[in-house]
Amino acid sequence: MAEGGFKVTYATISSDNEEMVKRYQEGIEKAKSWLGKDYPFYVNGQERNGGGRAEERSPIDNDIIIGHFAQATIEDARDAVAAAKEAYPQWSQTPWQDRVEILRHAADLISERVFELGALTALEVGKNQLEALGEVEEAADLIRYYCHQMEEHDGFSVPMGQLSEEEKTRSVLRPYGVWAVISPFNFPIALSAGPVGGALAAGNTVVLKPSEQGFGIALKLYEILHEAGVPAGVVHVLTGPGETVGQALHQNPDVAGLTFTGSYEVGMKIYRNITKDWPKPVIVEMGGKNPAIVSAKADLDKATDGVLRSAFGYSGQKCSACSRVLVQRPVYDDFVAQLVAKTKETNVGNPLEAGVYVGPVIDAAAVERFESASAQAGEEGRVIAGGARIQKDELARGNFVEPTVVEVPIDSGVWRDELFVPLVAVHPVDSLEQAWELANDTPYGLTAGFYSEDRAEVDRFLNNVEAGVVYVNRRAGATTGAWPGIQPFGGWKGSGNSGKAGGGLYYVQLYMREQSQTIVED
């Protein structure tokens, strides 16, 4: 928790805490001092410069250079895996209590630096103040929760039954070896720290390959891990292109396991290819086309608040974003009118400023995807609110688009495809049974939301929805806002393969394998 006694989570709605705003402004100044520099990556604790540098610019203002980041090569990736493999025996045999102590220290350092790390996250990927601070706190809490799970289960060593008095058996969960983590741009510190923390707590060594839009915050995480006491050979970070460095990791036979968060297409490619030599554990967390269902018995003020926050939070660039809303016909017109009115009042602007809710999308490709989807919606249905790029004043230098509400046929690509932009489609339904069917009619199964004041309807929703994370009557977010130890986050169907959720009861065990140890003492 940050100094001052407050803690920001994804359910935090207001940024009117004066002390928080003041500290965040100080964090912005600190983060700005890091901008525009040349940055190496790290293999075995040593700086490397790889094969040239790539420039990363801010989506807030394309004139802002985040940094010039060294580009790791295939050889650098091989070296990192080799060093991690060499460090594995000592780290895996380090008592789990000692590993937990180091990682708890890292989590505390993250929380202590929440304002500067939050500001860097905002500058680098365009998150608003609350979302940026919330993500940094989530990163710390993910590490803490996995440490808690190790403690709660006494390092996952359990005595078993006996066939004789001389024979004693234990079931022990042991690490795999070198674990690769490929993290996304939209949660560049939380979805690096979470899997890295889980893998390290379990006793694996780690090679982290962050998104090309998120190199800066990943390097700060690396620095904190080493400052906390993680040995040099135990964790490595490679800043480089996914098509070479990422591929070099998932094709390396010495990588024992891998966590990927990103698109369905890339995730499925990794899932199919990593096990070509023998079965390996791979955790792929992929996209979502997340529905919210609004009953005729819903509180529409609550429902429109929840849908808006989930559809437009971080400019729709969360895999959990609400992108489809199914509304029972008797309340459809009122729901749409309220949602549109609130959408038009939503504050869009520079996310470094307090009170701004919607910042930019990540890059020019996202702007093009937004414009294409808006045009398609206008041709196939109607654009009810928004639909255009924002090119006024200083926002013209960034990647800003309007929060958008559309009505399209259910066979439209706008309705069916994950877009990762601030665009939500609405559609009327005649019954809740029709809503369940349409909500589940997608290859994805990540999150879903429901609004009704009728408990029997709520129970029917919970029994019928096909998603790993579900929320009912949640004003803070219809489909978004999971938190470690509170709402485990993981997808079904094409949204994830493990059946276990990050920040949940069973996640850290994914980084370990069971060994039955029988000792006979005559």
209-214-219 Cα angle (round to 5): 65
The average pLDDT across 62-84 equals: 98
User: In the structure, what pLDDT confidence band is assigned to residue 276 with cuts at 50, 70 and 90?
Assistant: confident
The CATH number of whichever domain residue 302 belongs to comes to 3.40.309.10
Contacts of 297 (CB under 8 A, 6+ apart): 452, 453, 454, 457
Percentage of the chain with pLDDT > 90?
93
Kindly report, residue by residue over 286-311, the tens digit of the pLDDT: 999 999 999 999 999 999 999 999 99
Q: What is the domain range of residue 354?
A: 290-483
Query: How many CA atoms does the CB half-sphere of 66 hold within 13 Å?
Result: 28
Residues taking part in catalysis: 285, 319
Supply the pLDDT for residue 316: 98
The average pLDDT across 94-118 equals: 98
- Give the number of other Cβ atoms within 10 Å of residue 441's Cβ: 14
- Which residue intervals of 274-418 are DSSP H helices? 300-312, 329-345, 364-380, 413-416
User: In the structure, what pLDDT confidence band is assigned to residue 17 with cuts at 50, 70 and 90?
Assistant: confident
Assigned domain for 4 exists: no
Q: Do 327 and 363 reside in the same domain of the chain? A: yes
Q: Do 120 and 43 reside in the same domain of the chain? A: yes
Kindly report, residue by residue over 324-344, the tens digit of the pLDDT: 999 999 999 999 999 999 999
Strand, helix or coil for residue 340: helix
Q: Do 463 and 514 reside in the same domain of the chain? A: no
Q: Do 396 and 432 reside in the same domain of the chain? A: yes
Assigned domain for 13 exists: no
Q: Do 60 and 124 reside in the same domain of the chain? A: yes
The CATH number of whichever domain residue 243 belongs to comes to 3.40.605.10
Supply the pLDDT for residue 234: 98
CA distance 428 to 504: 35
Assigned domain for 12 exists: no
User: Residue 388 pLDDT more than 60?
Assistant: yes
Q: Do 166 and 230 reside in the same domain of the chain? A: yes
Q: Do 237 and 88 reside in the same domain of the chain? A: yes
Assigned domain for 3 exists: no
Count: domains in the chain: 2
β-strands 167-175, 512-520: how paired? Answer: antiparallel
CA distance 230 to 104: 11
Q: Do 239 and 317 reside in the same domain of the chain? A: no
Q: Do 161 and 256 reside in the same domain of the chain? A: yes
277: exposed, middle or buried (C-beta count within 10 Å: 0-12, 13-18, 19+)?
A: exposed
Provide the token pair at 174: 């042991």
Q: Do 372 and 265 reside in the same domain of the chain? A: no
Assigned domain for 1 exists: no
